Structure 1
């Protein structure tokens, strides 16, 4: 598989050059473990671990390319395919699109046909392995869910906790606490209480505010507004379990968020939403284009319903973010 190290190049040249289409397979076993391959020591970037894959040949569709590469590298086939993330890297002479899929239903016993060591690894232990830089983005996408709940308006605390509890019972484990109408001190006190509640159920709560919140042990992650992207500096080193997220609405904001080393972004509004009915939506075509240029996982936000999750993923997004769609 190709190993990627992105470089800065002229934008006009990037738009004109041919894109090399590469498929990448995140292989899931029946027990939920992931199959990794270790690059031979005598090859470029020898000794690092990676997800198998290779270039799509002319006339091949994705499923054909994945099965061909897996047969050549590991002597296996797969039966089930689910898109995960697309990542584009630009070089002075070419661009490479890493088209990453989660595949399962393994047919055959995997072996390293090219002399590479292979290993089944639990998802929780993937961070213990050294990956090429591009594979680290794939790793983040693999560890994120496909639904991101944003809490809606509430008057009573009981209503908030009931809505969050219903979402957790529904399998939603990534939640943003949104309550801009509250005074800052009240917001943080309630956020800390809600964070403990969500963590006890196995989930993570994102909060709004400045980078100082990342020093709080109860803070699972910080969700920045698009206005913060132009004024805040890159944060200090944070705990590996803490997430940094940003709201984006256009290409410039996406690039600014990436420069701040965010783990993922929300892109909005994809459709016309009830919370911002006056805002002109991006539409599916523009949302797909912006998702395609992002180098981090993207959640689509704005007018999304749970039924849009599969469509968003097919068009390159990590999944959807929503307020009303995830209400109990």
Structure 2
């Protein structure tokens, strides 16, 4: 028996003059009652997403809106249904927002969105509003560490704000001081740092930890404190569910496209990514042959953004992941 088609739902990110974002609380008698969500509702057959959002926000809140840019579309499976949550920025609105369907409303500073319990489909939306849309995975340094650090600085200057430090073939005596220098440059640029696979090095640098897929199965509990960012590389649903159970803050999923490092291996493609995406609520970066140009497509399939080596590393002379 095939899965039912997803229900198309449209929601808006509505901001007030202070930059706060409007959330609505699901009323009693509905699925996931009491949880907070971005306002919106079902799209009717033949209705455009923009028309649906205008109608829903008029009916639910009594406001007239102008629909802005797309933020993210999240496919999400629930026990009894499947949703496709299409979230748009509201570029302008008029009127006074009121809960016309007896729903409670809250104006929330963006940094506090994560403190509100939400349905699974809304959690990646919060991440899309709060967290970087790219994650640089560093390539193996060549013979010149200074040049590698200069390239990292160029990537940071180009806007990279989340960096996974990775150099599996480098001896520890060379990698540890180089990673320390890289972490310092990231700190100056305001970028978050995670260390691939090495919990001790991550702790010594005050950095987050990125788990390799093989490490997931060996862990019984989250290996770092809650305030330390934890991520993981995942390739299938079992690994994703394990990452979610361990309390990972996000995961990197792929490969989306074939890459030179895996010649002849087909990528999972965007459809394969979306099928994994709808089974978990973790923020997910897509990886594998991607560049910044792939960001809109990534967001249309529920990705937080893209992770890449070659696609985010300037003057790259190394092999990509």
1:195-210 to 2 correspondences below 5 Å: 195-210=183-198
- Name the residue aligned to 1:307: 293
Kindly indicate whether residue 85 of structure 2 is the aligned counterpart of residue 107 of structure 1: no
- Name the residue aligned to 2:241: 255
* Cα pair distance change 1:324/1:140, threshold 3 Å: same
TM-score by length of 1: 0.81
1:134-173 to 2 correspondences below 5 Å: 134=120, 135-155=122-142, 156-173=144-161
- Partner SS state of residue 93, structure 2: coil
Q: Deviations over 1:11-51 (max 9, x none)?
A: x7xx5446444333333457654223356799997876432
Query: Residues 77 and 279 of structure 2 are in contact (CA less than 8 Å); yes or no, is this contact kept in structure 1?
Result: no
* Cα pair distance change 1:233/1:186, threshold 3 Å: farther
* Cα pair distance change 1:174/1:153, threshold 3 Å: same
- CA apart distance, 1:195: 2.0
Q: Deviations over 1:149-198 (max 9, x none)?
A: 11112232222221221122111101111111122454344333322321
The one of 217, 230, 237 aligned to 1:230: 217
Structure 2: runs of 5+ lacking an equivalent: 315-321
The one of 190, 193, 208 aligned to 1:221: 208
Looking at structure 1, the residues matched to 217 and 29 of structure 2 have their Cα atoms a distance apart, in angstroms, of: 44
- Name the residue aligned to 1:267: 253
* Cα pair distance change 1:180/1:29, threshold 3 Å: farther
Looking at structure 2, the residues matched to 87 and 35 of structure 1 have their Cα atoms a distance apart, in angstroms, of: 22
Query: Residues 123 and 281 of structure 2 are in contact (CA less than 8 Å); yes or no, is this contact kept in structure 1?
Result: no
1:309-324 to 2 correspondences below 5 Å: 309-324=295-310
- CA apart distance, 1:199: 1.9
User: RMSD of the alignment, in Å?
Assistant: 3.0
Query: Residues 207 and 222 of structure 1 are in contact (CA less than 8 Å); yes or no, is this contact kept in structure 2?
Result: yes
Q: Deviations over 1:136-160 (max 9, x none)?
A: 4432333222211111122322222
Looking at structure 1, the residues matched to 298 and 27 of structure 2 have their Cα atoms a distance apart, in angstroms, of: 37
Structure 1: runs of 5+ lacking an equivalent: 1-11
- Partner SS state of residue 225, structure 2: coil
Q: Deviations over 1:76-97 (max 9, x none)?
A: 3132131424142422xx2141
- Name the residue aligned to 2:65: 77
Query: Residues 176 and 201 of structure 2 are in contact (CA less than 8 Å); yes or no, is this contact kept in structure 1?
Result: no
Looking at structure 2, the residues matched to 317 and 95 of structure 1 have their Cα atoms a distance apart, in angstroms, of: 21
Query: Residues 100 and 138 of structure 1 are in contact (CA less than 8 Å); yes or no, is this contact kept in structure 2?
Result: no
TM-score by length of 2: 0.82
